[in-house]
Chains A and B, each alone.
Chain A
Amino acid sequence: MNFEAFDGSYVSRLRAGDASTEQHFIGYFTELITLKLRSRLRAPEVIEDLKQETFSRAFALIRSEGGVRNPERLGPLVNSICNNVLMEQYRASGKVEALDETAAEQITETRPDALSMAISHDTRDLVREVLAKLKRRDRDLLRAVFLEERDKDRVCDEMGVDREYLRVLLHRAKGAFRELYSRRTGERH
């Protein structure tokens, strides 16, 4: 996704209904909103409904006169709208905000959607290359945590590492993936 600055011009194009700007706006915030909702809710249909509601309100506000007072803060505005939508959902369902780690652990999608299946073919080679350079224990650790979705504390304890080790492992693997990706996309251009 190409980076676009959120500024007055961007908001004006959104208000005018510019298709490519709308597409960028939806593409940029869909993943963020989905991750945010998935960290707090379980039911996929509720997550989808709340995501749509967030976008609906965001567009309504953007298109209203004086709705966006500070275009550079468009991101926090969308976050705030999503928070309001969430609070209403909690009140409607009579539940206290779900903040336990169990819900938060569902943050990464386990079912591939159409877009991720389309891009995974290109990224699969890069990820395979990153994984091949890891030590076996580190691959086993990633498998236990992200594929088998086992309890992280237990997995770390069994492998004789701590949570900080797991964080650093993920940080390094992600960094290696990003480096490979930018090198390959740079080569193509």
Chain B
Amino acid sequence: MNHQDALQEMAVERYLLGELSGEAMDRFEEHLFDCPLCVADLRAGTTFINAARGELRGVGEPESVRESSFEWVSRLFRPSFLAPALAACLLVIGVESFILLPGLRREVAQVETPSVLNNLVLANAGARGDVTVEIAAPLHGAFLLSVDIPGRSGFSSYLLSLYSPLGAMVWQTKILPQQASDTVLIHVPTDITKAGLNTLLVQGLSSGLSGVEGSGGKLEDLARYKFQLNVSK
């Protein structure tokens, strides 16, 4: 192993996480004892981890790692995501109130009934190239996207756009920087798109002249998350 191999394989991180064993560990240690660069990196890692323990101990209780279905539903009741979805459902119910459609009954039942949804994490844009991940969701159901907005400053807002496998934009929303500082949860009804390779585009919007949005503001692509949606009947 040489230093480039160690970097490519993230050997220091694997060592710190205890993921190396046997021959792989022997091979890395043989290199480590001969590489001041890896030694410095390892030292930084152990120092960070040991100090971080103390800091993480002092920070408040972590969010429960495994959230119940009721907790998932309560998080969905955020005005910025639920209000548009609720408004659309109410409109459909109002228009179709005299026509009983089995599909419409299912949609209403799913919105009102707590349920466990499959969740897909979209993060680390560009860290390891374009990796396609998969998620399964029921027909007429929904799934969750947990999206990390790449942390870059200078944007007045962010635009999230969902494109179906056919390339059509099926949904779009704007979020503010304070929302983007944490993971963004998106409840996606399966029926708004199709099974296949979907794309979630994350763009940063910088203010135009006089700081007024829409007056020449620039859109910059920050992340393009591809995911394979498998729809089950």
Contact = CB atoms under 8 A, between A and B. Distances in A.
A115 to B, nearest CB: 10
Contacts of B34: 73, 75-76, 79
B56 A142 contact: yes
B53 interface: yes
Interface residues of A, number: 67
B54 interface: yes
A31 B35 CA distance: 14
A31 B46 CA distance: 10
A127 B44 contact: no
A153 to B, nearest CB: 11
A47 interface: no
Contacts of B128: 164, 168
A10 interface: no
In the complex, which range does the number of interface residues on chain B fall in? Answer: 35 or more
A140 interface: yes
A76 B35 CA distance: 10
A104 B45 contact: no
B25 interface: yes
A35 interface: yes
A174 interface: yes
Interface stretch (A16-24, A59-67, A105-113): A105-113
Contacts of A109: 46, 50
A85 interface: no
Contact of B19 (A35, A73, A78, A163): A163
A131 B55 contact: yes
Interface string B28-46: 0110111110011111111
A167 B18 contact: no
Interface in A81-139: 83, 99-101, 104-110, 112, 116, 119-120, 123-124, 126-128, 130-131, 133, 135-137, 139
Given A99-B21, A101-B19, 5 more contacts: A39-B20, A79-B29, A104-B18, A139-B56, A178-B41
